[in-house]
Amino acid sequence: MKKAYEGLQENVRKLKTPKIDVWANKYPDKTYTINIETPEFTCICPKTGLPDFAMIRIQYSPAKWCMELKSFKEYLIFYRNIGIFHEHVINKMLEDLVAACKPRWAQITGEFNARGGIRTVVSASYGVKCKV
């Protein structure tokens, strides 16, 4: 039996998102962590067309580049009208962050508001998190 949402995410990895700008890290010899949180993330459920809301938490250890936050805010706003599953949006964000910044390691967690009594938390990571 075919599900109503089958095929809706076939091209999610090819989604053309806004560019995440970076700036040069002046401490590439140091291992440190940058934490970014935004409680205002929204996207659209691809099955129901209803809005999904989430807290997005990012941790990463920069090497040569740090993420520029204004461009990242524009990147997040892009998703407001995009139908995308929670699992896919977090993994897409991780791929885009890694492509832009090339960090030592990164982790992104999305804590999506409950819908129908079910709360979803999705985490994706890249590299090995170092203990500092």
Domains in the chain (CATH in brackets) are 32-126 (3.30.1130.10)
* pLDDT higher than 80, residue 14: yes
More confident call, 62 vs 117: 62
**What is the band of 102 on the pLDDT scale with cuts at 50, 70, 90?**
very high
Cite the active site residues: 45, 52
Relative to beta strand 65-67, strand 105-115 is: unpaired
- The tally of CA atoms less than 13 A away on the side-chain side of residue 123 is 6
Q: Is the pTM of this model over 0.85?
A: yes
Q: How many residues does the chain have?
A: 132
Residue 59 CA to residue 105 CA, distance in Å, equals 8
Residue 75 CA to residue 64 CA, distance in Å, equals 21
